[in-house]
Amino acid sequence: MKTQKGRAAPDGGYAWFVSLSCFLVFGLTFGVIKAFGVFYVEIHKYFEATATETSWITSIAVASIHIFAPVASALSARYSHRAIVITGGLICSLGVIVGSFARNLIELYLTVGFLNGVGYALTWTPTVTMLGLYFEKRRPVANALASAGECIFTFAFTPLFQLLIDSYFWRGALVILGGLQLNLCVCGMLLRPLKAHGTKRVELKTKILHYVDYTLITNKQFIVYSMFGVFAALGFFAPALFLIPYARNKGIEEYEVQQLTATVILLGTVLLLCPLATSFPELAAVSAAYGLVYGATVSIHITVLAEVVGVHRLGSALGFFMLIRSSGGLLGPPIAGYFIDKMSDYGMGFIMAGVALIVSAIFLLLLRKINHSSQRSKNHNMHTEKVGQRSRS
């Protein structure tokens, strides 16, 4: 990894400002999505919709992030990461503010869902890519610190959103949220490019690969890892959306719920225990346990992706990974909502998410097996080559 002056990736100095930018982007994108359960409750009641119908708002936003991630990667390579992130910040802010005037759920799907999700894609993807370029030796630490923004902002936004809704109704709260999301433009300004783009003449194939590395589809490790992403996404987003209505359904006080969602990051088998909890202390304990596991997962999954494909292909790989994972992000909340509507029990949403996450782990085990087989084959070939060299000498 070289800068325009030929130096290695900084791993310090200005790189920490890039890490700060990524921290804020995580919070203002996925942190908002995780805290959106507060809005879900109000919108659900206002439009007298089913759990499935209301959940499509978050589902469309998540799917849009994933589907437009490759577009964000390509545009960042063509123009600059800074310009695309600033543009994305303006788009998602506009989407949320316009959504505050929505007259029905369809308009919320198009604004707070689709338009907001596109803006998130244009901010999150280039920022995470830049973080990978600015760090090498300290990349796992940088990713962990940056991803902590999602958890910390979820903790802060949940009571804040409830306070805003109580004061200004959900429409006024969305307007204020749109203003907060303009800070994504500031995050974009912090992304100082490592190197300038050349005016060099290159072949068409080289240009295309620079923007979108389509050869990744031939990388079996990448495809297996992406399948992990699909099933993980089925379980990532539904729990946060339904935790607040589940808690209220159990008679837990509204502002106790705000404190509960300080740990609203849920994952894996712990989710299967959630329907057994019927009081605030029990829900808090389950959420906290899951939050620890989820935090570890989020902090390393981008690092693992860089190791699977190589950091030089991280931009395209991140885009493709998000695109493939989009099916899980799109279908997760509505599937959970379907089971909730059928069984009249919010606990079913957590069971669905827990099963999906356990299935996703199977693909990680498969990836590990493939990597071990590749390493054994490589070692065998090296041994055979050494034996051949000795025999010839």
**């788009």: which residue's tokens?**
91
How many CB atoms sit inside 10 A of residue 390's CB? 8
End-to-end CA distance of the chain: 38
Which of 208-222, 265-279, 299-313, 341-355 shows the highest mean pLDDT?
Answer: 341-355
List the beta bridge partners of residue 2: 8
Count of alpha carbons within 13 Å of 174, Cβ hemisphere only?
23
**Which residue did the predictor score with more confidence, 80 or 181?**
181
Cβ-contact 92, 68 below 8 angstroms: no
The predicted model gives 138-147 an average pLDDT of 79
The predicted model gives 65-81 an average pLDDT of 84
- How far is the C-alpha of 363 from the C-alpha of 188, rounded, in Å? 34
The predicted model gives 119-129 an average pLDDT of 91
Q: Distance of alpha carbon 227 from its chain centroid, rounded?
A: 15
Per-residue pLDDT tens digits for 232-286:
776 666 656 666 666 666 665 544 463 333 333 345 556 666 666 667 777 777 6
304, containing H or E segment? helix 280-309
Split at pLDDT 50, 70, 90, the class of 383 is: low
The candidate with the shortest Cα–Cα distance to 122, out of 174, 77, 86, is 86
Split at pLDDT 50, 70, 90, the class of 139 is: confident
**Which residue did the predictor score with more confidence, 370 or 39?**
39
Listing DSSP states for 167-234 in one string gives: HHHHHHHHHHHHHHTTHHHHHHHT---SSPPP-----HHHHHHHH--GGGGG-HHHHHHHHHHHHHHH
The predicted model gives 203-211 an average pLDDT of 51
Split at pLDDT 50, 70, 90, the class of 45 is: confident
**pLDDT at position 5:** 43
In the chain, what are the domains?
15-193+210-379 (1.20.1250.20)
Instruction: Kindly tell me the burial class for residue 368, based on how many C-beta atoms sit within 10 Å of its own C-beta (0-12, 13-18, 19 or more).
Output: exposed
105 has a pLDDT exceeding 50 = yes
**Which residue did the predictor score with more confidence, 118 or 282?**
118
**pLDDT at position 133:** 82
74 has a pLDDT exceeding 70 = yes
- How far is the C-alpha of 21 from the C-alpha of 28, rounded, in Å? 11
121 has a pLDDT exceeding 80 = yes
- How far is the C-alpha of 341 from the C-alpha of 52, rounded, in Å? 7
Q: What angle do CA 226, 238, 318 make, to 5 degrees?
A: 25
365 has a pLDDT exceeding 80 = no
The predicted model gives 1-16 an average pLDDT of 61
- How far is the C-alpha of 278 from the C-alpha of 115, rounded, in Å? 37
Q: What is the mean pLDDT of the chain?
A: 76
The predicted model gives 319-346 an average pLDDT of 74
To 10 degrees, the CA torsion angle through 381, 386, 392, 393? Answer: 170
The predicted model gives 173-195 an average pLDDT of 91
**pLDDT at position 90:** 96
The predicted model gives 291-312 an average pLDDT of 64
120 has a pLDDT exceeding 80 = yes
The candidate with the shortest Cα–Cα distance to 222, out of 322, 73, 139, is 322
- How far is the C-alpha of 390 from the C-alpha of 369, rounded, in Å? 32
Percent of the chain surpassing pLDDT 70:
67
